[in-house]
Amino acid sequence: MRPPVAPSQADGGTGITLSESDGLRYLHFGTPWVQGAMKIARPYALVLDYQRQMMAPLLFVPEPRAVLQLGLGAAALTKFMHRFVPCSHVTVVELDPAVVATAHVAFRLPLPDARLQLVLGDARAHLEQRGTRGSVDLLQVDLYDAQARGPVHDDPAFYALCRAALRGPGLAAFNLFGRQWPPSFQAIADAFGGRAVLLPEADAGNRIALAFTGPPLAVSFAALYEAARGIEHRLKLPARKWVSGLRIAELPRQRGTARIDGAYFQV
């Protein structure tokens, strides 16, 4: 999600529109709000800051085997994970078949293969299926409609389903956008027993929440910075910025189960 950019090209009468500016192609859902982007010359790179932040779980789960993505958009996260994290098997759930078709045609989304599964359906319904329970290492949630007022699913029961989908240790990354994010983050923190942290605001106003399951973690910032340097070398992502963000993050205090103090990140 980014501030408005004027869409210029309609796609098949579906309400999806595309625009291009300065070497970037943008996806819109019939409004000026940007729902995804691709650098035309580097179609597998992550060009939006908030999407790069949604890779921060790799600090803690560097080789996720099972990745579940709720919401496809312009397929940036899907393409990146499929291309650059070869240990992963990615399942992406998208409600609108027109979004999937546009991602294939305009955003270089590869066809399904042994490591990529595309599911047409509702994210909540998918999580409610027994097959998702306790089977996911990394969950990435980016669910917004055309108006971008808030996540499509944004209630404690939905976030509890997200937690149930993860096996431990497992992490979820949630994209929150706009001025209404505090209640969403509180609902995430409650669903995950207080084990949630909010990264600093991304360049377009997005906030990425990370939530943890499994055994409690206690890892030194020195170790996190070392992991970040490895991510920067392999994936060309600004991972040390994520660690610095964790150092200054505001964590939910009321439960006393998640905190940052001095030399250690504990959650």
- pLDDT confidence band for 13 (50 / 70 / 90): very low
pTM higher than 0.85: yes
Both tokens assigned to 263: 């030399």
Which of these, 48, 38, 66, lies nearest to 167 by C-alpha position?
Answer: 66
Q: Which of 106-120, 124-138, 224-238 has the lowest mean pLDDT?
A: 124-138
Taking each helix axis as running N to C, give the angle between helix 239-248 and helix 221-235, from 0 to 180 degrees, rounded to the nearest 10: 150
CA neighbours closer than 13 Å in the CB half-sphere of residue 219: 18
Measured from the Cβ of residue 196, the count of other Cβ atoms closer than 10 Å reads 26
DSSP states of 130-142 as a string? Answer: GGGTT-EEEEEE-
Give the rounded percent of residues in the chain with a pLDDT score beyond 70. Answer: 85
Nearest by Cα to 149 from 180, 122, 175: 180
Of 15 and 255, more confident:
15
Domains and CATH numbers, the chain: 44-266 (3.40.50.150)
Q: What ranges make up the beta strands (E) of the chain?
A: 9-10, 17-21, 24-28, 34-39, 66-70, 89-94, 116-120, 136-141, 166-177, 196-198, 206-213, 218-220, 259-261, 264-266
Which tokens go with 194? 């207080």
- What tokens does 63 get? 């080789």
Q: Is pLDDT at 158 greater than 90 in this prediction?
A: yes
Tell me, what's the pLDDT at 253? 43
